[in-house]
Amino acid sequence: MQKDLQQQWQQICERIRNESRDAVLQGWLSQLSPEMTDAENIVISAPTRFMRDWLVDKAYDALMTSIWQQINPAIKAVQFAVLPAPEMPEEEPVAEVITDNADSNLSHLNPAFTFENFVVGKPNEFATAAARRVATIADIAFNPLYIHSSVGLGKTHLMHAIAWELRKSRPGCRFLYLSAEQFMYQFVKALKTQDTLSFRDMFREVDVLMVDDIQFICGKKATQEEFFHTFNELISEGKQIVLCSDSSPLALKDIDARLKTRLAQGLVVDIFPTTYEMRIGILQSKAQAMNAAIPQDVIEFLAERITTNVRELEGALRRVVANAQLLGSPITLDTTKMILRDTLNLYEKELSIDLIQKETAEYFQIQPNNLKSNSKERRVAQPRQIAMYLSKVLTTHSLPEIGAAFDRDHTTIMHAVRTIEERMKADLKVYEDVEALRKSLQRYS
């Protein structure tokens, strides 16, 4: 089994070497090693967390799954993991204080997360305006600025945008961006080395402090105390603080009551879920950044179907683009649906026979109950067979189930399916009617 696995892996590597245009991926192949966890699942281990995150970010797990299935159909999922598993969370480089404009200091900020790349609409315009104000004007209007939303709606993007903009609009302004998690690691490290003084000094130097995912300190008493201390000191010295979180200050749990009150004292803004128009704008902007030409119908399809958050929307777009690049095939609506079939099932409403009957009746301008009647009249009989045919090909219902919906038995449905298949070949008019209906029904799936 292990031998088969290695052979399959070699085939996959071979294929990636020949077909992928991603030089980074090619360079890393030799450092990856696959492991079978059971007959259906494969875990590919990467030596570092960075590498693992990068592979996942580029949706290479989805891609590996789909090429692996072509070699071995028994495989259900291929995932990436870090090995050897770190006992402690890996130490992340702490964001350095930006005391000048040296680019090297900005390496922990995502260059793509700028205001220019941030698509603004009603749901996020207030948060964006507040962020811009902090980034461009030194006078403090509110402190802290506290931005909250559910995951993937652009909080981190906005914070990085503030950093980039500060550098442009307020040269000389010293800022520090870090996550609450990094704050904790640094603090714990300082405690261990008995060097809390230099830890505190790091914050004294800044004009703007940004702490991401502040909810992370909930339930961590010592870290909260230290943060409370830092917070008070900076506020009293007239330094700007910007915080992001997955919930409003008052909804934070396991947090010191005084700190909670202080967090809510400045300006609290939330980012709401995106609108359809924003999602179109975001997809266009991301596609451009990826240098990928995406057909408009694919953009509209994604914007319509992936409404949860922007991270998922972007992830879906990445998968579509990565797949097309690796396989060298064009991006079309059909390939998009194929690639995203697992994800989309989450959002998919199963097309109902009832809906098919309604649409078909409307299309042929007859009464829906005519589709269940015994009338042999051609005006009614052919639409009835078409509705049966569409129910078979567009839903996962069984023949007896479809039969029941039409007050018929399953042999009638089987007969109807065959008849329509034949007619579609022989009669262009029938073909066009069926295709027009199929197209209009696809709006719902």
Q: Give contact residues for Mg ion (rule: CB under 5 A).
A: 155-156
Total Cβ atoms within 10 A of residue 415? 13
Residue least distant from Mg ion (Cβ): 156
Total Cβ atoms within 10 A of residue 188? 16
Q: Which is nearer to Mg ion, 284 or 309 (CB)?
A: 309
Select from 193, 255, 203 the least CA-distant residue to 234: 203
Tell the smallest beta-carbon distance from residue 34 to ligand ADP (Å). Answer: 29
Q: Please report, for the chain, how many H helices and E strands are present, in that order.
A: 20, 8
Residue 282 binding target from Mg ion, ligand ADP, none, CB below 5 to 8 Å by type: ligand ADP
DSSP 3-state of 159 = helix
Residue 305 binding target from ligand ADP, Mg ion, none, CB below 5 to 8 Å by type: none
Tell the smallest beta-carbon distance from residue 155 to ligand ADP (Å). Answer: 3
Structure tokens, 256: 């010191």
Q: Which is nearer to ligand ADP, 34 or 152 (CB)?
A: 152
DSSP 3-state of 44 = strand
Tell the smallest beta-carbon distance from residue 213 to Mg ion (Å). Answer: 6
Q: Which is nearer to ligand ADP, 124 or 325 (CB)?
A: 124
Q: Which is nearer to ligand ADP, 170 or 311 (CB)?
A: 311
Quick one: CA dihedral 12, 13, 14, 16, positive or negative? positive
For residue 109, the 8-state DSSP code is: S
Q: Judge whether 130 and 147 are in contact, CB under 8 Å.
A: yes
Tell the smallest beta-carbon distance from residue 152 to ligand ADP (Å). Answer: 5
Residue 220 binding target from ligand ADP, Mg ion, none, CB below 5 to 8 Å by type: none
Query: Could you give the CA distance from residue 198 to residue 204 in angstroms, rounded to a whole number?
Result: 10
Tell the smallest beta-carbon distance from residue 340 to ligand ADP (Å). Answer: 17
Select from 220, 185, 187, 222 the least CA-distant residue to 203: 187
Residue 240 binding target from Mg ion, ligand ADP, none, CB below 5 to 8 Å by type: none
Tell the smallest beta-carbon distance from residue 371 to ligand ADP (Å). Answer: 45
- Phi/psi of residue 210, nearest 5 degrees: -120, 125
Q: Which is nearer to Mg ion, 44 or 131 (CB)?
A: 131
Q: Judge residue 401's burial from the number of C-beta atoms within 10 Å of its C-beta, 0-12 exposed, 13-18 middle, 19 or more buried.
A: middle
Q: Judge whether 63 and 326 are in contact, CB under 8 Å.
A: yes
Q: Judge whether 424 and 389 are in contact, CB under 8 Å.
A: no
Q: Judge whether 12 and 67 are in contact, CB under 8 Å.
A: yes
Residue 384 binding target from ligand ADP, Mg ion, none, CB below 5 to 8 Å by type: none
Tell the smallest beta-carbon distance from residue 127 to ligand ADP (Å). Answer: 10
User: Binding residues for ligand ADP, per CB under 6 A?
Assistant: 113, 117-119, 124, 149, 151-157, 282, 310-311, 314
Q: Which residue has the tokens 């924003």?
A: 278
For 427-440, the DSSP string reads: -HHHHHHHHHHHHH
Q: Which is nearer to ligand ADP, 311 or 410 (CB)?
A: 311
Residue 149 binding target from ligand ADP, Mg ion, none, CB below 5 to 8 Å by type: ligand ADP
Residue 153 binding target from ligand ADP, Mg ion, none, CB below 5 to 8 Å by type: ligand ADP
Beta strand segments in 311-381, E: none
Tell the smallest beta-carbon distance from residue 162 to Mg ion (Å). Answer: 13
Structure tokens, 403: 């039969």
Q: Which is nearer to ligand ADP, 113 or 199 (CB)?
A: 113
Residue least distant from ligand ADP (Cβ): 154
Q: Which is nearer to Mg ion, 150 or 373 (CB)?
A: 150
Residue 119 binding target from ligand ADP, Mg ion, none, CB below 5 to 8 Å by type: ligand ADP
